[in-house]
Amino acid sequence: MILLVLIASVLIAGVTLYQYREQSKDYHENRLERKEEQILQSIDYVLKETTYEPCTENLQYIFRDEIYKIADVQNVNFNIYDLEGALIKSSKPAFEADSVSNCLDAEVLNHLLESPDRRYVEEKSTAGDNYKASYKYINDPKFKPIGIMNLPYFEDNSFNDMELREFMFRLGGVYLLMLISAIGMAYFVSKYITRSLQTVADKMTQTNLNKRNEKISIENPSEEIGKLIDSYNGMIDELEQSAAKLARSEREQAWREMAKQVAHEIKNPLTPMRLTVQSFERKFDPNDPKAEHKMKEFSTTLVQQIDTMSNIASAFSNFADMPAQQKETLNVVKVSKLALDIFHEPYIHFIADEEEIIAKVDRTQLIRIVTNLVKNAIQAVPETENPRILVTVASHNDQVKLSVADNGVGIADEFKDKIFEPKFTTKSSGMGLGLGMVKNIVENYKGSIDFTSQIGKGTVFTVMFPKES
């Protein structure tokens, strides 16, 4: 509506301007013709009444005084030329005689001669005003040309221009009022038309899988809106059914994932416990002077792993993160070294920059970090000729740096982006949950875990976590 009003106003303004120009042009042409005919009639009358013979040579005598009378009666100035274009007489006062051409151009004479009605109008523009000059033959009573009458005509459009400005001003006011009315009408009409659509849009925006969605109810909707509402309400019914199926599937999937995670975490301490018991059976000698000390270490290791399993079971039963963080102030070097005691591979080495690095961290989760990383390193070096695993603990400003390096097979480039993803593994056995859980534990302590690896040369995992978290 607004666009139509704007287009109509522009078109009407353009047509109005064009019409005024055409009217002005027709007015001046008709006025020039009327003046021309009136002067020629007066000239013909003088030629009939004069005592001189109507010929070119006598024109200057015939119109010596009469030209001024005609010009005064018709209120216009005009000039008389002979057939060769030489000025014979002008009605202009003497002080304006210099502005009158004494000889007509050959172009004017040619156009006049070739014109069917023996009339030629020359158009020029002077000082921003349009100027016309009419030329027509003066005939004697026998219709024989004896001279040329020249009528200069200046177009005065000041009155028409003033009327045009006034009209355009009024028209602009009317169309401004129409434009404002159209904007208001368009606003309210569009609001009325789109009211139902806005209701549908609002409901669609509020649609959520996690809650019960309301259906749309609109009184007396149009046919198209009614179909849209029916489609939306049908979609809501299907969405609720799909949401219920999805929620049930997600719950089942969550239980499966939790069961896998718990099984993996329980399996971790069971393996070293079995290895520790087997090693104890083979190497324990009751007569050994250090038997009591070894028994104490053996008991400590088993109790530590049993505590880990207990924490996992408790966390699982409480539906909490496995296991919940219990921040303790402990010596990271001592706990890390203790975590390595369950491994009996001779190629595992431990280095610490300091004998004591104190940090607030959960003992069980720190042990899980070390055992998971070392276990992965052991699985990476079975085919290496001289396997070596180096575990280092160092203090780095206000953080603890824990590194596990091996000279195993390395990690291929296509697996590096997925190495911390749950359930991702390159091994033929296992569930691929270890590194993912290590990453979660470290990030819960506002730390970071990263690695560098080269195929055939080995891998280095680096864990950084703050001493005070």
pLDDT at 213: 67
Q: What's 366's domain CATH number?
A: 3.30.565.10
Helix (H, G, I), strand (E, B) or coil at 49: helix
d(CA 217, CA 232): 11
The closest alpha carbon to 371, from 349, 334, 339, belongs to: 339
Q: What's 115's domain CATH number?
A: 3.30.450.20
Domain final position from 100, 135, 162:
162
pLDDT in tens, the chain (469 residues): 778 878 888 888 888 888 888 888 888 888 888 888 998 899 888 888 888 888 888 888 888 888 888 888 888 889 999 888 888 888 887 545 555 678 888 888 888 888 888 888 888 776 666 778 889 998 888 888 989 998 888 877 777 778 888 888 888 888 888 888 888 888 888 777 776 676 777 777 766 655 666 777 666 666 777 777 778 778 877 777 777 777 677 767 766 776 777 777 777 777 777 777 777 777 777 777 777 777 777 778 777 777 777 766 665 554 444 455 677 889 999 999 998 988 888 899 999 989 999 999 888 889 989 998 998 899 888 877 889 999 999 998 889 999 999 998 888 888 887 787 754 454 533 334 568 778 888 888 889 999 999 888 899 999 999 988 6
pLDDT at 208: 65
Residues 107 and 240 in one domain: no
Residues 245 and 120 in one domain: no
Distances in Å between the Cα of 374 and the Cα atoms of 132, 268, 381, 396, 402 are: 109, 12, 11, 21, 12
196 in any annotated domain: no
pLDDT at 432: 41
Tens-digit pLDDT profile for residues 432-468 = 456 877 888 888 888 999 999 988 889 999 999 998 8
Under 8 Å CB-to-CB from 43, ≥6 apart: which residues?
Answer: 63, 70, 138, 149
What is the DSSP-derived secondary structure letter of residue 161? H
d(CA 391, CA 403): 6
Which H or E run includes 130? strand 129-139
Q: Is the Cα torsion angle 286, 288, 294, 296 positive or negative in sign?
A: positive
Q: Centre a 10 Å sphere on the Cβ of residue 286 and count the other Cβ atoms it contains.
A: 6
Q: DSSP for 59-113?
A: HHHHTTTHHHHHHHHHT---EEE-TTSBEEEE-S-GGGGGGS-SB--HHHHHHHH
202 in any annotated domain: no
Residues 314 and 346 in one domain: no
pLDDT at 320: 43
The β-bridge relationship of strands 358-361 and 145-154 is unpaired
197 in any annotated domain: no
Residues 108 and 18 in one domain: yes
Domain final position from 324, 343, 359:
324
pLDDT at 237: 79
H helix intervals, 123-222: 158-206
Domain final position from 289, 324, 359:
324
- CB burial of 184-201 (b: ≥16 within 10 Å; e: otherwise) equals eeeeeeeeeeeebeebbe
Residues 232 and 346 in one domain: no
The domain in which residue 249 lies consists of 208-324
70 in any annotated domain: yes
335 in any annotated domain: yes
Residues 289 and 388 in one domain: no
186 in any annotated domain: no
Residues 156 and 50 in one domain: yes
Tokens of 5: 């009003």
Residues 274 and 335 in one domain: no
Residues 135 and 234 in one domain: no
pLDDT at 358: 92
pLDDT at 389: 94
Residues 144 and 37 in one domain: yes
Residues 220 and 345 in one domain: no
Structural domain count, the chain? 3
Under 8 Å CB-to-CB from 434, ≥6 apart: which residues?
Answer: 264, 268, 372, 375, 376
442 in any annotated domain: yes
d(CA 241, CA 247): 10
Residues 460 and 357 in one domain: yes
307 in any annotated domain: yes
